[in-house]
Amino acid sequence: MLGLYFSGTGNTKYCTERFVHRLDSAGTCLAMESIGTAAAILSHEDIVLAYPVYFSNLPKLVQDFLRENGPLFARKRVFILATMGLFSGDGAGCAARLLKQYGAVITGGLHVQMPDSIADEKALKRNREQEMQLVRKAGEKLDAAARQFAAGKPPQDGLGAASHTAGLLGQRLWFSQKTRDYSSQLKIDRAKCVNCGLCTSLCPMSNLPATPEGPHPMGRCTMCYRCINSCPGQAITLLGKQVVRQYSLTDLLP
């Protein structure tokens, strides 16, 4: 089994690995931006496709990945795992509808709530104990879903018509422009930037090339929040104007 994921700050990576390895201890888990994803898709019949949901939609990076590699999914059995901070309606359905156009067989879907990683907004912030409890509940849901899958009754989260309507009315109709293109809104406070190069190395889009003055955003941000949550100077913002609290999943794991 192949677990193929896009993960901004670690939530989706954790969920993918936990789910896949409950089903197949020898299963392979690979980030979408890694080298060799095409060969991995072709060599596996069962795939768990995982990603975070942004504004009830697919991240732009995931949209592009699926369109560029769509034909490789023909006749593959695909289970879709979507992580989110609150509720998406049809988070799994977004990729399911696209993959069906390329002949993929969608075996099920799972929605998993994880702690919010939008570091420059106060919304959805919880204390550490609440976030640890959320991660524990997510783990329990993943384990239960793996048992259902193994029993031939995989969950079907986000795949029905009602879920599609909920996703449209919940956020996607109002915020579709947020994920239609890559964002050019990433900002760096030069007074806070220590020019360490960490954001340059972390960015999945190569959107922050290094310069003598520090990294320079190129307008191709997929809003994954890796750089913002990792910046030692808290110099980077996207949706908000200042960093409220940086997020680290490793701090919440037992």
Cα–Cα distance for residue pair 21/27, rounded to 1 Å: 6
Residue 77 neighbours by CB under 8 Å, 6+ apart: 45, 46, 47, 104, 105, 107
pLDDT of residue 206: 96
Write the CATH number of the domain with boundaries 2-178.
Answer: 3.40.50.360
Instruction: Give 212's DSSP letter.
Output: T
* pLDDT at residue number 170: 84
Phi-psi region of 229 (alpha: psi -120 to 50; beta: other; left: phi over 0): alpha
Sorted by where each begins, the domain ranges of the chain are 2-178
**pLDDT average per 10 residues of sequence, the chain (254 residues):** 97 98 97 96 98 95 97 98 94 97 98 97 93 97 98 97 91 86 96 96 96 94 97 97 96 92
Residue found by looking up tokens 């890559």 in the block = 182
Alpha helices in the chain (DSSP H): 11-23, 37-42, 60-69, 91-100, 128-150, 161-167, 173-180, 198-202, 226-230
For residues 172 and 56, what is the distance between their CA atoms, to the nearest angstrom?
5
**Which positions ≥6 away from 237 have C-beta within 8 Å?**
120, 186, 187, 189, 228, 243
Strand 28-31 to strand 2-5: parallel, antiparallel, or no bridges (unpaired)? Answer: parallel
Nearest CA-CA partner of 229 in 117, 154, 128, 127: 117
Closest among 206, 231, 245 to 118, alpha carbons compared: 245
The CA distances from residue 247 to 41, 125, 141, in Å, are: 31, 10, 22
Query: Residue 234's Cα: distance from chain center in Å?
Result: 22
Instruction: Name the token pair of 217.
Output: 């955003």
Pairing of strands 105-113, 236-237: unpaired
Round to whole Å and give the CA distance between 191 and 230.
Answer: 17
